[in-house]
Amino acid sequence: MTEQRYLPEHRSAGTADSLRAGAFEASTSGFSLMDLDFVILDVNAAFTESTGMQREELIGRQAFEVFPENPLQTDEAPARTMRQSLERVISTGHRDSMHIHRYDIPDPTRPGAFLERYWSPVNIPVFDDGAVVAVLQQVEDVTDYRDDLVRVFDYLQEPPSGDSAESSRRFAEYAATAMAHSSLYHSARREVEQLQEALTSRGVIDQAKGILMAHHRCGSDEAFLRLKQMSNDTNVRVRDVARALIYQVAAPGPASAGDRPGEA
């Protein structure tokens, strides 16, 4: 009876472990599992593909031995910066995102030569009984769209002032994350563009609602209902109705009774 009672739990644990292992291997992001001395314990297929190295060349070797610094890149100290990030994860127990990090890798076709590469690493602590026992490193090769990412991160540093600053900051932060941590770059870029358009539309609609609220002395909900009604009556999108309303109010010259905001 005892064996039968614990067997389902054992099977559940085994299934969970199997699923985790399957997800690790199938992920399109590169993953490397390291011990506290940065010896590589495991890697997935995406990691070997992005680095151009075979699994047997990596397992059991110290990460900084496998990936030495490019002698031409010593002024940037990429290995030291990476090591500091890994050590922070071990000491604090918190993940550490490095955004854009140049770390050239050995060229497998030319001994002694290096390939210029830019990465977006995230170093994640692995716990056992409350203690950090390993570090899981997630990496994305962002070399092909590094310039786009740099522009987004620069934008993050100096968000625009005014009422839209917080929305713009959130947009930029989302954009940076979406592009930096998605292997499907073009899909992520479309998503970012759609979000930017949504933020712009929301600003226009909010302005139009403000005009209607002031003119009709109504609340936000009623103002939006008026916008929707105008959209239905004219078969024009709410955003475009809002833009037309703003233009109408801003245009010079007196408005006739039929031109008043929200009146048919």
Q: Which of 136, 113, 103, 116 is nearest to 20 (CA)?
A: 136
Helix and strand element counts for the chain (H, E): 10, 9
pLDDT in tens, the chain (264 residues): 333 333 344 445 556 667 677 778 888 889 999 999 999 999 999 999 999 999 999 999 999 999 999 988 866 789 999 999 999 999 999 999 887 889 999 998 888 899 999 998 889 999 998 999 999 999 988 887 777 666 655 554 554 555 555 655 555 555 555 555 554 455 545 554 554 555 455 567 888 888 888 888 888 889 889 888 888 877 777 877 787 777 565 544 444 444 445 554
pLDDT at 170: 59
Name, in order, each residue with C-beta under 8 angstroms of 141's C-beta and a sequence gap of 6 or more: 30, 50, 117, 118, 119
**Token representation of residue 192:** 């970012």
pLDDT at 255: 42
pLDDT at 3: 37
pLDDT at 93: 95
pLDDT at 207: 80
Question: Are residues 243 and 254 in contact, defined by beta-carbon separation less than 8 angstroms?
Answer: no
CATH entry 3.40.50.300 includes domain 18-141 = no
3-state helix, strand, coil in the chain (%, to 5): 60, 15, 25
Domain boundaries for CATH 3.30.450.20 within the chain? 18-141
Kindly report the backbone phi and psi dihedral angles of residue 15, in degrees, each rounded to the nearest multiple of 5, phi listed first.
Answer: -65, -45
- Calculate ∠ Cα 47-48-49, nearest 5°: 90
How does DSSP assign 167-196, residue by residue? HHHHHHHHHHHHHHT-S-HHHHHHHHHHHH
CA–CA separation, 105 and 66 (whole Å): 9
